[in-house]
Structure 1
Amino acid sequence: MEKVQNKRATNHTVFAVSIAVSALVVLWGAVDPNGFGTVTTQLFNYVVADMSWFFLLTANIFLVFVIYLGLSGYGRIKLGADRDEPEFGRMSWFAMMFQAGMGPAIIFWGLAEPLSHYVDVPFGLAPPSSDEAAGVAIKYSFFHWALHPWAIYAVAGLAVAYFTHRKNERGLLSAIFRPLLGDRVDGPLGKAIDVLAVLAVVFGIAVALGQAGLQMTAGLGETFGFPTGIVVQLIVLALTTAAFMGSATTRIEHGIKWLSNISMLIAPVLLIFYFIVGPSITQINAFTEGLGDYLGNILPMSFRLDAFSPDNGWMGSWTVFYWSWWIAWAPYVGLFMARISRGRTIREFVAATVLVPSLVSMIWIAVFGGAALQLARSGLAGDIAQTVQQSPAAGMFVFIQQYPMAGLMSVITLIVLWVFFVAGADAGTVVLGELSTGGEPNPRTWVRLLWGVLLAGVAAVLLVSGGLEGLQKASVLTGTPFAIILVGICAAFYKTLRDEHGPNSARVPVSGARAATPEESPQDVEVAVVSTEPTRSESR
């Protein structure tokens, strides 16, 4: 009884502190948006000026680490008991992971980023708006959306999946540190890690929801002439909130899986259509040349800081911002990936979370970014690059107007964007519920709905107060300490793999059980194992 009470107290502590801190930050941003923006800008500028090297080094460590795990003998290890089979088919599994990892963001930036780099060329590597600038734009867009971000997600996802499904630990990031910290993970230090994870998820999702809401509003304006002011933005947010909260009342097998499958059916329609009606040869050439430039220059790009340049504004606005944002998203995406990956091997996980989505992202950028750059070079769409720089949210819909069936394709784009939006927010409520209730793999409906209301409230306050840019910077600041946590996760996970599967270990096949901790009895462990094993009907 005492153990149960302590566990409930721990859950209540993480839950209460996370909500309180989130509410206070949002309240500050609503009451004093100027002060909020000033403080976050100052901290952001410090991170960019003095910690860029840290983000570049850690991102490279994460990429090397996950590739090593996938190619090494550890790649054969199953994320679960030796007898476990995957709960989801490969297509559904990948669809859910991709929409959680990128979702609306790739639609938002897959076209806007190449056009931005075309005008504001990274590190001045080419004259602005030149042929060379177009090549640099594709290369750096690949760099920001391919291997590194997915490796960051995979670090968190692999570790949580291994400790949750194979060692039957709680679905919490703090549990991964048990090999390094021992039972201290059950105390204040572990709770602090989990609170930070919850805050990173809340602010990361809020930024994504805000961006998606702005893009949908801009799309409605470009397609139907609707006003794009705050009232329409709040109506879009309200309708979307109703949809993802409705999905949150269902199990993952019904809600998120169904939505993700829809998005992965519609998105290829857009891709194929604009490959056919667009400058196909240019798009193929952009992919081929961009892939070669990216792979051939990945090492110098991964370490480039322009150490002796007096101005690193581009670096802070793009690479450092992206790396820190992906890190802030790591607990959300990683925990959700882990939640749906029982029964997969480490090698399968790395391939499905790093290699395949990187390829899909590059194809998307080559098709849409390549076609948009061709429009910018020809001048047929006016100064589309400048237009997109002024309003990235409208970029996709300005682009669509230049091709046949603009009305229909705009509607389809709005649908897929909305579905990504709903599925991503639904997945966010699952992760927030799991993190804030002590690692419960299937959080109660009221917990998920409460987090859904909070997420919608955060996004609404930001839209009303105009603080979206400030929260983006706050998300980056959340990612700064979390980068240190991810480094610790790498160390703890590798230590566990070496101890349990290394050449000097006495490996014993895992059947789903684990040893009892000092606070638990063997009966407690048996109950935990039963509660986390999927039933036969769930596996179907």
Structure 2
Amino acid sequence: MALLRSIGLLSGSYNVPADALRATRCHEVSGGTRTRTRRSYFREERNRKVATTSDTSPDPAQSSGPANQGAWYHSVKPGVFWPSVVIIVAFALWAVFAPETANEWLGEVSGGITQYFSWYYNFLVTAFVVFAIWVGVGHFGDIKLSPQDEEPEFSVGSWLAMLFAAGMGIGLVFFGVAEPLMHFNSPKPGVEGSPSELAEFSMIQTFLHWGLHPWAIYVVVGLAIAYMVHRKGKPISIRWVLQPLLGNRVKGVVGDVIDVAAVIGTVFGVATSLGLGVLQIAAGLEWINIVQDPGDLVYAVLIGIITLIAIVSVVTGVKRGIKWLSNFNISLAALIMLFVLIAGPTMFILREFVQSIGLYLQNLLQMSFDTTAMQGDAGIEWQGFWQAFYWGWWISWAPFVGVFIARISRGRTVREFVGGVLLVPTIVTFFWFSVLGGSGLYREIFGDGGIIDAEDGVTQEGALFGLLETLPAGTILVGLAVLLIATFFITSSDSGSLVVDMLSSGGHTEPPKWSRIFWAAAEGIVAIALLLAGGQAGLEGLRSAAIIIALPFSVVMILMCISTWRAFTLERRAFLRMQRRQQREELTEHVSQSLIDEGLVEPNDANGSTPGSGSGSGSGTERT
């Protein structure tokens, strides 16, 4: 009983250290005594400490110290850092000196992927949603992503703000007004109806792209990493997630290849966001007459400024810079959203929000598996531009977001993790699109219009400003929106830099400052180089590269699901073994005490040992 109490089983939860659970196997296999089990437990504890010291010393998941001992190059993992640098530099040089060739080749490959694998993406991402919900609501939900007695590192508010800002914060600003209007103006092939019916479709299609599906992708990667890092004491790295399947091979070349792919995908994804986002910032500055006809120089200066601020943030670490910026931009986003809600068509927005959620849930299954197979070439083109592209895009970002949310989720249970990552951001995202996108639709259907141009359609980078300008204090709102976009870019950049830094340094949670600066600067330099070399085409090429990386990484994610299920199942079985042993011991003690109370037996000695307790030399004296 003392052993059971020491590891927390009497609380009714199986949030116990996984290594401690092995103690029961000695008893059940050999049929030994309780003393034997205790000795086995302490022997296992000693072995675990030795193994932990040899495998992960210093333990990056636990250590807060920087990985900067010795020369500077000793603080990185050579098999991950140098191949990543070579590939990224080679790609940037290729894009600068041969932009047309690079963009054409990448465009053809990514186009082929979205055309021939759209069915695969639709099925796979929906399967991730099912997996995430199953893990969260099932028996595994009580497993804690840390030692049993450890509290969460961050408050709920800061935790949600950081994962939301890193996951898709900037995308919500960029597409908040634009995407519903784009679906309304150019519906999916096969969708027809009145303006009100098209508006309903546009909202639920947007909900599909930004709701449960992308966050389920992040759950798969983030949960697998968080479990191995915070529960098993492994370094923060993609490779260790597959150790239950690949064994010690993850320590070698196979693991290096996995981490290199994660590093490259993260750098490309963040650089693309910097490049695409700076177009929207420049459009906002032009809207309020701060700049006129922005060009490459303005874009380069803006990226440089954002990168410098991101460097300051990432150097200060998660608990200060990134946490503060995440809280700030979430607060600013909430302020803008509430102002639009109050100053706009409030009752329409609220009614449309509830209605769209109902339509989303009603059509979720059908839309999740819709590959527009009956729409011919038009359906294939739509899939490539929208759904297949989105799923590939989210998967390409999964290493970055998954590693980051795993890093900040220490101390949460699996159920808290799934609920926080899957459900809370989804609801907030739906409300955001209902407020901004709903206001845009209301203006186009019932108001004066003007956001959708008769010739050019919807301008993605300008749709938000077109809506805000129609509200009271429109110029101030546009300025705040530009600030919001910039802060979201900064949080994406510094979060991505921190993740890349952890991967390239072998999993240290506090890598050296020089490498943090290097990766943050590299992301900005890559974005500037591609923007200056190929303009919009250069950024499209970079986005295509991210889509290409998503295909092989989707296979890694399938293996992650299998590995996570296997690890959780082993822990569940170990818990059930200990639970059965606990019940047997409690039953034995209860029966023994009852016999003593009834006067049927007497204690063996003065210490009160009872029959079946494993103490004393006799078995008790029966009263006659």
Whether the TM-score (by the shorter chain) exceeds 0.5 is: yes
Distance 1:383 1:413, change over 3 A: closer
CA offsets 1:361-382 (integer angstroms, 9 cap, x no match): 0000000001101112246242
Unaligned stretches of 5+ residues in structure 1: 509-540
Runs of 4 or more above 4 Å deviation = 1-5, 7-10, 385-390, 503-508
Which residue matches 1:345?
A: 413
CA contact (8 A) 1:376 1:385 kept: no
Matched positions, count: 506
> Which of 568, 586, 590 is equivalent to 1:497?
568
Query: Is 2:555 aligned against 1:484?
Result: yes
Give, in whole Å, the separation in 2 of the partners of 1:109 and 1:485.
Answer: 29
Which residue matches 1:108?
A: 174
CA contact (8 A) 2:190 2:375 kept: no
Distance 1:10 1:425, change over 3 A: closer
CA contact (8 A) 2:451 2:458 kept: no
CA contact (8 A) 1:146 1:358 kept: yes
Secondary structure, aligned partner of 1:224: coil
Shift in Å, 1:385? 5.4
Which residue matches 1:57?
A: 123
Give, in whole Å, the separation in 1 of the partners of 2:515 and 2:391.
Answer: 30
> Which of 67, 80, 105 is equivalent to 1:14?
80
CA offsets 1:183-212 (integer angstroms, 9 cap, x no match): 111111111111111111111111111122
Secondary structure, aligned partner of 1:249: helix
Give, in whole Å, the separation in 2 of the partners of 1:250 and 1:498.
Answer: 39
Report the AA paired with residue 231 of structure 2: R
Give, in whole Å, the separation in 2 of the partners of 1:25 and 1:454.
Answer: 12
Distance 1:283 1:231, change over 3 A: same
Map of 1:122-521 to 2, 5 A cutoff? 122-127=188-193, 130-227=195-292, 228-311=294-377, 312-378=380-446, 380-382=448-450, 384=452, 389=457, 391-465=459-533, 466=535, 467-502=538-573, 506=577
Secondary structure, aligned partner of 2:383: helix
CA contact (8 A) 1:112 1:389 kept: no
Distance 1:485 1:418, change over 3 A: same
Give, in whole Å, the separation in 2 of the partners of 1:499 and 1:96.
Answer: 32
Shift in Å, 1:471? 1.3
Give, in whole Å, the separation in 1 of the partners of 2:473 and 2:398.
Answer: 38
> Which of 14, 34, 41 is equivalent to 2:100?
34
Shift in Å, 1:285? 2.3
CA contact (8 A) 1:164 1:170 kept: yes
Report the AA paired with residue 284 of structure 2: G
Q: In percent, how many aligned pairs have the same letter?
A: 36
Map of 1:66-77 to 2, 5 A cutoff? 66-77=132-143
Unaligned stretches of 5+ residues in structure 2: 1-52, 58-69, 580-624
Distance 1:292 1:377, change over 3 A: same
CA contact (8 A) 2:75 2:505 kept: no
TM-score by length of 2: 0.78
TM-score by length of 1: 0.90
Shift in Å, 1:9? 10
Secondary structure, aligned partner of 1:253: helix
Give, in whole Å, the separation in 2 of the partners of 1:2 and 1:207.
Answer: 39
Give, in whole Å, the separation in 2 of the partners of 1:423 and 1:60.
Answer: 28
Give, in whole Å, the separation in 2 of the partners of 1:29 and 1:502.
Answer: 52
CA contact (8 A) 1:116 1:388 kept: no
Query: Is 2:107 aligned against 1:44?
Result: no
Which residue matches 2:9?
A: none
Point out the more displaced range, 348-357 or 302-311.
302-311
CA contact (8 A) 1:122 1:136 kept: no
Q: Which has the higher contact order (CA 8 A, sep 6+)?
A: 1
Give, in whole Å, the separation in 1 of the partners of 2:458 and 2:246.
Answer: 49
CA offsets 1:390-414 (integer angstroms, 9 cap, x no match): 5311111111111110111111111
Secondary structure, aligned partner of 1:371: helix
CA contact (8 A) 1:237 1:456 kept: yes
Report the AA paired with residue 158 of structure 1: L
Report the AA paired with residue 498 of structure 1: T
Which residue matches 1:91?
A: 157
Secondary structure, aligned partner of 1:443: coil
Give, in whole Å, the separation in 2 of the partners of 1:383 and 1:8.
Answer: 54
CA contact (8 A) 2:279 2:461 kept: yes
Secondary structure, aligned partner of 2:178: helix
Secondary structure, aligned partner of 2:373: coil
Secondary structure, aligned partner of 2:509: coil
Give, in whole Å, the separation in 1 of the partners of 2:142 and 2:200.
Answer: 39
Secondary structure, aligned partner of 1:27: helix
CA contact (8 A) 1:375 1:384 kept: no
Report the AA paired with residue 230 of structure 1: D
Give, in whole Å, the separation in 2 of the partners of 1:9 and 1:86.
Answer: 28
CA contact (8 A) 1:118 1:385 kept: no
